[in-house]
Amino acid sequence: MRMLPAALGNRAQHFSNLNAHETGAGATRIGDVWEIDEATSDYFLGVLPPLQWQGSSFLVSEALTGDIHAAYFEHRGSHYCGYVRGPAARAEIAALRAFVAAA
């Protein structure tokens, strides 16, 4: 897992992090995570119908590539985005939360 540059109040940085899969290494991006602001999380919640919406986490319904989705979640009042595999989303979001907590 890796912490990418935070995108607090910086939508351009968020899209740069989000589009990093376009380098052709989509599967290796699983576990990448970065902090975002609440407004960015709210925006993506409203763009497309969310998948696997549970409490303070959801997946964007359109996959980035294959079965890799952007996951948005809250942890201790902060908001984050990261890459997860759709079928393993619950476990991988839990792992991202643990990683963020330890960082």
Planar angle of CA 37, 39, 42, nearest 5 degrees: 115
pLDDT tens digit sequence for 3-27: 999 999 999 999 988 887 666 555 5
Read off the pTM. Answer: 0.88
Domain count, the chain: 1
Q: What is the mean pLDDT of the chain?
A: 87
pLDDT at 23: 60
List CB contacts of 31: < 8 A, sequence separation 6 or more. Answer: 1, 2, 82, 83, 92, 95, 96, 99
Question: Which residue range(s) make up the domain with 40?
Answer: 2-102
